[in-house]
Every structure is written in structure tokens, then in C-alpha cells.
Amino acid sequence: MKKLIKPVISLKSKIVSLKYFEKNMSISYGRTYFTSQPALIGIMTCGYGDGYPYQLSNRGEVLVKSKRAPVVGTVCMDLTMINLNNIPNVTIGEIVTLIGKDGKEEITVNELAFWANTIPYEIITRLSPRVPRVYFRNGKIWKIKKNN
């Protein structure tokens, strides 16, 4: 009998701020990203201090409301900016999926590793202890471990 292996990890965050930027405005440290048109930018609470790779600056993607949103600008220590122009009705507090499924869309550890030019094991092992771990059993929250 063939057993299927399913992913058991997900990484989620939330949008804590929404900002409108005009065309040709720079986003984040180092001015590495400029808007090509007016843009709604979401700021989410996850950065390289949490283990989200700095290498995803201007090249990663996340899921918001089951749609992909590109990472724009430099991934900061505690925050990351995403372009929400193609996702209607986003509000503060909206869940952002960095690893895992949202509707029919999914971002895998392998995909994240490819974008960051590393291996999947590094993505998993670099997740900071400050990121709470939520354990599920039979589809329900079983345990939450916080290290702050």
C-alpha cells in the first residue's frame, strides 16, 4: 500500500498596515523597489528576524485571500511589504500565508527555498523561536508554544 506524505508545516502572518503609494515611489530600505503604477502595499508582521529569508526581497510571493501577492522592497527584520493591487477588499488583520495552502493556492517550502536560492531544510530550520508554534491534532488546535 502506497502512503502519501503530506506537508505538515505552514507559516502565517497578518497585515498590520495598508498604505497607498503613487507611481515611482520607493518601498522599504535601500530603495530597491519603485512602484510602476499606483499601488496598495500591505505591511505584514514577519521578517528575517522570524526566519523569513532576506533573499526574498523583491522576489518572493505570499498568499492573501487565496491569491498570490509579490513581496516588494527589502525584507526587514520584523516586517515585509507586499503588493496588493490584484487582491480586492483587503483589510488590516487579513491572514497572510507564507508557507502552506490558502484555498486552491499553495506556497511550498520547496518553492520558497528555490526563490531564496537555498535548500528546503534551511527554510525550516531558520524559523526563529520567536515564531509561535501551533500544533494541531485531528484538525483542532492541540497546543500553542510561545517563546517570547
- In CATH, what number is assigned to the domain containing residue 34? 2.40.37.10
Residue 2 counted as domain residue: no
Task: For residue 5, tell me if it sits in a domain.
Answer: no
> How many domains is the chain partitioned into structurally?
1
Query: What is the DSSP code string of 15-31?
Result: EEEEEEE-TT-EESGGG
- Domain-located, residue 94: yes
pLDDT value for 30: 92
Low-confidence ranges of the chain (pLDDT < 70): 1-3, 148
Q: What pLDDT is attached to residue 33?
A: 96
Contact yes or no for 46/98 (Cβ under 8 A): yes
- Residue 6: the pLDDT is 76
Q: Is residue 1 part of a domain?
A: no
pLDDT digits (tens, 9 = 90+) for 33-54: 999 999 999 999 999 999 999 9
Contacts of 42 (CB under 8 A, 6+ apart): 15, 17, 18, 64, 69, 81, 82, 83, 84, 90, 94, 96
Residue-wise DSSP of 33-96: EE-SS-EEEEEES--GGGT--GGGTTT-EEEETTEEEEEES---SS-EEEE-TTSTT--TT-EE
Sequence letter at residue 69: A
CA–CA gap between residue 142 and residue 122 (Å, rounded): 26
